[in-house]
C-alpha cells in the first residue's frame, strides 16, 4: 500500500526534525525543505499528499510575506494540494490572508501534538477525496459521462441534466452493478459543488458499531479505540456531495441521526456535545425496495421522504441491450490502454455472445468480463473464447470447484429474482451483506 507523502518546510532544522519524528509513526513518508525555493523544487519533482509550510523564513521573520508568496505559488501549481501553514507570529489578518490564498488550515507554534496530528489526518482525507473527485469529474477533459443510447436510459439522462445543477437530494435506484455510482458522479459534476469533494460511503460495509463514527466522526476517548479525534464523512464532504451507497443497510439508530443532519445540517461527533454545521448535498443509492423496508419497520418513512426529493431509476443491463456495444467498447479502450495491449475491437461472435448474455451482474459484470478478455487476448481483436461466458455445464458439477459452484448458484438466483439481491439472498440462505461480499468476489 502506497504511503502518504508529506513535505514540511521550515528554516529551523530542529523544527523539521521534531515534526518528522512526530509524523513518522503515523506511517507517513516525510520529506523536509529549508526554504521556499527548496519547496518549489520538491513539489515540481514529486507528488505530495500534503504540504506543511512555515510562513516566516530568513528574509523576513515576522510578517509572513515569504510564506504567503510560497502559498500562492503552490496553490496555483496544484489547487487540490492540501496546504497547512504554521507560524509563531499569528494574527487574525495573517490567518485570513493565508486562508484566502489557498491554505486549508492553520497551526500556531508552539503546536499541540494532538491538534497537529488531527489537522494532518483530516487534510489528507480531504485531499484524497478532492483529488479523487477531480479525477472522476475531469477525466479526459470532460465531465463524467453516463454511457447510454438506449430508450430505457433516456429518462435517466434527462433527470441528470435537469436536476444535476440543483442542490436537491437524489435517490438512485437500480440493481447491483447498474451504474448508480456513475450517475452520482455525473450529478455532482453538473452541480455548483463540482469543485468540492464527492465523498462516498458504502453503508452496506459498515456495522452498526462503526456507522456513527464513520459518518459523524468521533473525539479522542469517545470509546476504547478512539485514540485521536476523527473527522466524519459529512464534515469531509462539507460544501460538496456525500454519496451514501446501499442506504437500505443503515441501522435504525443511525437513521434517526442521519435524518437530523439531512433536515438541519447539524451533527455532533461521537463523544462530543459540540454541535457542528455542514452544507452537504446527499445522493443515496439502493437496490432494495425501500417501501417494503418501511412497511417492515426496518426503514424510516420520514427519512425516505427526505432522501428522494428526486428519484432516478436505472434499468438493468438486460433491459438496455442497445448500450452493451457502447459500454463494451468503452471498457475495451480503457483496459487496453491500462494493460498496454493493442486490442481494437470484438469479433462478430464475441459481440453476439455479449448481446446474448443475461448479465445478472449488470454493467459491473460486463466490465469484469471485458477486462479479463483484454488480458487473455493476443492480437488486435477479442474472440468469443476470451470472454469466458460459457456457463459451466451442470452435468459436470463434479469437475467444478466450490467457488465455481457457488458463483453458478448466485448467478441463477439473481436471474431468477430479476437481480433483487434481498430475494436472492433469502433463497440462498444468506444475509444481504454475505451475498454482497460473494458478488464482489465473483464480480457479479
Within a domain: residue 128?
Answer: no
Q: In whole numbers, what is the pLDDT of the chain averaged over residues?
A: 84
Tell me: do 46 and 147 sit in the same domain.
Answer: no
Tell me: do 107 and 222 sit in the same domain.
Answer: no
Within a domain: residue 170?
Answer: yes
pLDDT beyond 90 at 87: no
% of the chain with per-residue pLDDT over 90: 41
pLDDT beyond 60 at 138: no
Torsion sign across C-alpha atoms 96, 99, 101, 106: positive
CB 215 within 8 A of CB 264: no
What is the SS3 assignment for 220? Answer: coil
User: Average pLDDT, stretch 145-149?
Assistant: 82
Tell me: do 308 and 334 sit in the same domain.
Answer: no
Of 292, 313, 334, which one is at a domain's C-terminal end?
313
If pLDDT is split at 50, 70 and 90, which confidence band does 283 have?
Answer: very high
The pLDDT value given to residue 173? 96
Q: What's the CATH code of the domain at 83?
A: 3.40.50.2300
The pLDDT value given to residue 441? 72
Tell me: do 70 and 29 sit in the same domain.
Answer: yes
The Cα–Cα gap between 130 and 96 comes to 22
Tell me: do 66 and 155 sit in the same domain.
Answer: no
> Of 438, 418, 442, nearest to 429 (Cα)?
438
User: Average pLDDT, stretch 44-51?
Assistant: 83
Domain of 249, in residue numbers? 143-313
The Cα–Cα gap between 60 and 267 comes to 42
pLDDT of 50-64, one tens digit each? 999 988 886 555 667
pLDDT of 219-234, one tens digit each? 888 777 777 778 889 9
Highest mean pLDDT: which range of 187-196, 207-216, 224-233:
187-196
User: Average pLDDT, stretch 340-351?
Assistant: 90
If pLDDT is split at 50, 70 and 90, which confidence band does 293 have?
Answer: very high
Q: What's the CATH code of the domain at 303?
A: 3.40.50.300
Within a domain: residue 135?
Answer: no
Tell me: do 355 and 411 sit in the same domain.
Answer: no
Q: What's the CATH code of the domain at 418?
A: 1.10.10.60
Q: What's the CATH code of the domain at 337?
A: 1.10.8.60
Hey, how many other C-beta atoms are within 10 angstroms of the C-beta on 69?
Answer: 13
Within a domain: residue 103?
Answer: yes
Within a domain: residue 434?
Answer: yes
The pLDDT value given to residue 357? 92
Tell me: do 245 and 284 sit in the same domain.
Answer: yes
Tell me: do 338 and 307 sit in the same domain.
Answer: no
The pLDDT value given to residue 242? 95
DSSP states along 135-183: HHHTGGGS-------SGGGHHHHHHHHHHTTS---EEEE--TTSSHHHH
Domain count, the chain: 4
The pLDDT value given to residue 444? 67
Tell me: do 246 and 148 sit in the same domain.
Answer: yes
The pLDDT value given to residue 129? 66
Cβ partners under 8 Å of residue 176, min gap 6: 287, 361, 362, 364, 419, 421, 436, 439, 444
The pLDDT value given to residue 279? 95
The Cα–Cα gap between 23 and 113 comes to 10
Within a domain: residue 238?
Answer: yes
The pLDDT value given to residue 183? 95
The pLDDT value given to residue 247? 94
Higher pLDDT, 400 or 317: 317
Strands 29-33 and 50-54: unpaired
Of 295, 313, 331, which one is at a domain's C-terminal end?
313
Highest mean pLDDT: which range of 56-60, 276-280, 436-440:
276-280
Tell me: do 153 and 298 sit in the same domain.
Answer: yes
Tell me: do 113 and 72 sit in the same domain.
Answer: yes
pLDDT beyond 70 at 91: no
% of the chain with per-residue pLDDT over 70: 89
Tell me: do 290 and 147 sit in the same domain.
Answer: yes
**What would the grid cell of residue 408 be?**
453458478
The Cα–Cα gap between 408 and 358 comes to 13
Within a domain: residue 132?
Answer: no
pLDDT beyond 80 at 100: no
- Three-class secondary structure assignment of 315-371: CCHHHCHHHHHHHHHHHHHHHHHHCCCCCCEECHHHHHHHHHCCCCCHHHHHHHHHH
Amino acid at each position: 500500500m502506497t504511503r502518504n507523502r508529506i513535505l514540511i518546510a521550515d528554516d529551523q532544522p530542529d523544527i523539521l526534525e521534531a515534526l518528522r519524528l512526530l509524523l513518522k509513526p503515523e506511517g507517513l513518508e516525510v520529506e523536509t525543505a529549508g526554504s521556499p525555493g527548496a519547496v518549489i523544487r520538491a513539489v515540481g519533482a514529486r507528488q505530495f499528499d500534503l504540504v506543511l509550510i512555515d510562513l516566516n523564513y530568513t528574509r523576513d521573520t515576522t510578517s509572513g510575506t515569504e510564506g504567503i508568496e510560497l502559498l500562492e505559488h503552490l496553490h496555483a501549481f496544484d489547487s487540490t494540494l492540501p496546504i497547512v501553514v504554521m507560524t509563531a507570529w499569528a494574527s487574525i489578518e495573517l490567518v485570513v490572508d493565508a486562508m484566502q490564498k489557498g491554505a486549508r488550515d492553520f497551526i500556531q507554534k508552539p503546536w499541540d501534538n494532538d491538534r497537529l496530528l488531527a489537522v494532518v489526518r483530516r487534510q489528507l482525507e480531504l485531499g484524497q477525496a478532492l483529488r479523487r473527485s477531480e479525477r472522476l469529474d475531469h477525466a479526459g477533459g470532460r465531465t463524467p459521462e453516463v454511457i447510454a443510447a438506449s430508450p430505457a436510459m433516456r429518462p435517466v439522462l434527462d433527470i441528470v441534466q435537469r436536476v444535476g445543477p440543483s442542490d436537491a437530494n437524489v435517490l438512485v435506484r437500480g440493481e447491483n452493478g447498474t451504474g448508480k455510482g456513475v450517475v452520482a458522479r455525473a450529478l455532482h459534476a453538473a452541480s455548483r459543488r463540482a469543485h468540492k469533494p464527492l465523498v462516498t460511503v458504502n453503508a452496506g460495509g459498515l456495522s452498526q458499531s462503526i456507522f456513527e463514527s464513520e459518518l459523524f466522526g468521533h473525539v479522542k476517548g469517545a470509546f476504547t479505540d478512539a485514540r485521536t479525534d476523527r473527522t466524519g464523512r459529512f464534515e469531509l464532504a462539507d460544501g460538496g456531495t456525500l454519496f451514501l451507497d446501499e442506504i437500505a443497510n443503515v441501522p435504525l439508530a443511525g437513521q434517526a441521526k442521519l435524518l437530523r443532519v439531512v433536515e438541519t445540517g447539524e451533527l455532533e461527533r461521537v463523544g462530543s456535545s459540540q454541535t457542528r454545521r455542514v452544507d452537504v448535498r446527499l445522493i443515496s443509492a439502493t437496490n432494495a425496495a425501500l417501501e417494503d423496508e418501511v412497511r417492515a419497520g426496518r426503514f424510516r418513512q420520514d427519512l425516505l421522504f427526505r432522501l428522494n426529493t428526486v428519484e432516478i431509476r436505472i434499468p438493468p443491463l438486460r433491459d438496455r441491450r442497445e448500450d452493451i456495444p457502447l459500454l463494451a467498447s468503452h471498457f475495451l479502450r480503457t483496459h487496453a490502454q491500462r494493460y498496454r495491449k493493442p486490442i481494437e475491437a470484438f469479433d462478430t461472435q464475441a459481440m453476439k455472445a455479449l448481446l446474448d448474455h443475461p448479465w445478472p451482474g449488470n454493467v459491473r459484470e460486463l466490465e469484469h468480463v471485458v477486462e479479463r478478455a483484454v488480458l487473455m487476448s493476443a492480437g488486435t481483436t477479442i474472440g468469443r473464447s476470451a470472454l469466458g461466458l460459457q456457463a459451466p455445464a451442470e452435468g459436470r458439477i463434479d469437475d467444478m470447484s466450490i467457488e465455481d459452484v457457488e458463483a453458478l448458484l448466485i448467478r441463477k438466483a439473481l436471474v431468477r429474482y430479476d437481480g433483487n439481491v434481498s430475494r436472492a439472498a433469502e433463497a440462498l440462505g444468506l444475509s444481504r451483506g454475505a451475498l454482497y461480499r460473494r458478488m464482489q468476489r465473483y464480480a457479479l
